Amino acid sequence: MSTFLFKIFIKDYENTRNPMVREKYGTLAGYVGIVSNMLLCTVKVIIGFLTNSIAIVADGINNLTDASSSLITLIGFKLAAKPEDEGHPFGHARIEYLTGLLISAIIIILGFQLLKTSFNKALHPETSQFSYITIIVLIVAIGIKIWQSRFYMAAGKKIDSVTLSATGADSRNDVISTSAVLLSVLINKVTGYQLDGIMGCLVAAFILWSGIKLIGETSSPLLGEAPPPELVNEILAGAESHEGVIGTHDLMVHSYGPGRTFASIHIEVDAERDIMESHDMIDNIERELSQQLNIHLTVHMDPVKLNDPLTEQLRSVLDKAIEPLEGVYGIHDLRLVSGPTHTNIIFDAVCSSTCKMKESEIQAIINKKIKEINPSYYVSITFDKTYAKP
């Protein structure tokens, strides 16, 4: 059903890397949510007042909040699709993350309100009137919410959207809350026990937990989370597949929102090779990977002097020195700067983000090994972080 709607309302729906297609997914999800949730809200509130059930009324108000969230989603995707301007040279795509964060906050507020109302109802239970029409409405509502959740999750997965994933989780919460209301109505009918307030408290606790979890998930991209391993591997593999590339390092990936990924990487080339040939190769790598991966890639060229006996000796010593150091993965940009009294051994050391050793400890160990070769050698290390073990 979800795929059918995508095909009907979204032109070129499979081209999800296109910002215009992405916007249409968000627009469709927003309209679907507004219409279906307003319908559910109206029916539930009427039934709740007729049967004197606070749980059903609260569930209906929850749907009104969902309609508001859908409106926020709709506006958020519209704003996120705005092109770059003077004040925002990388575009406005991060607004989508803010939209997801706002929806998560709304879920938490709703949970607190529902907890307060349900707690009062649990302390002062009131007799609710049983009606078969109530059962039918709740069952239909559960079915609609199950479809909604699957629809949002499918759309969110298609375009990798934290906002739609948060909205899908909210719809899943509604399935649980409405099921709890239905269960309390049936228990009251069979046993006479008033569980309306207690069920409301349990549902509110689950909604609060879900909202807090979603806050973490939707705020993570804003804090600067690590890029997907698949993207990292594709960039490295694509760069290293070109003949003439000796090695790669210093890969940095920054996201300014969905479809707005910027990356930079250093590529080592033979210093003896014609500079124009190397530069042409670098240009080709930038253009090909930018188009294939829908990113903005910048490549820095590092000339490497090959077949130098002293450099190769030092590299061998350094590789053996860092081998037992947990979290230190390798070195690059090794060069020697000689002076009248001493020689500086300059290079970068690649460390994982989970490396337990202090930089000063690593420097002391390596410096000791180098001075065993020549006491006039001094080590100068720049420490780099890596996303994953090479």
For the stretch 296-348, pLDDT in tens is 999 999 888 877 888 888 888 898 888 888 888 888 888 888 888 888 888 88
The pLDDT tens digits for 27-41 are 898 899 899 888 888
pLDDT interval class at 55 (50, 70, 90): low
Please count the other Cβ atoms lying within 10 Å of the Cβ belonging to residue 38. 16
CA 58, CA 52: separation in Å to the nearest integer?
11
pLDDT score of 127? 65
Phi/psi at 251 (5° precision): -75, 125
Kindly list the structural domains of the chain, giving each domain's residue range(s) and its CATH number in brackets, ordered by start: 2-223 (1.20.1510.10), 235-303 (3.30.70.1350), 307-390 (3.30.70.1350)
Rounded (10°) angle between helices 54-80 and 132-159: 20
In this model, does residue 146 exceed pLDDT 90?
yes
Q: Look up residue 173 and give its amino acid.
A: N
How far apart CA 107 and CA 100 sit, in angstroms, is: 11
pLDDT surpasses 90 at 241? yes
Burial per residue of 302-314, b for 16 or more beta-carbon CB atoms within 10 angstroms, e otherwise? bebeeeeeebeeb
Number of residues assigned to the chain: 390
CA–CA gap between residue 284 and residue 291 (Å, rounded): 11
More confident of the two residues 52 and 88: 88
d(CA 91, CA 111): 34
Which of 147-156, 210-219, 295-304 is the least confident region?
210-219
* Dihedral sign of CA atoms 243, 244, 247, 248 in order: negative
Percent of the chain whose predicted confidence (pLDDT) is above 70 = 96
Question: According to the model, what pLDDT value does residue 339 have?
Answer: 80
Q: Is it the case that residue 213 has pLDDT exceeding 90?
A: no
User: 344: phi > 0 → left, psi -120 to 50 → alpha, else beta; which?
Assistant: beta
15-27 pLDDT tens trace: 887 778 888 888 8
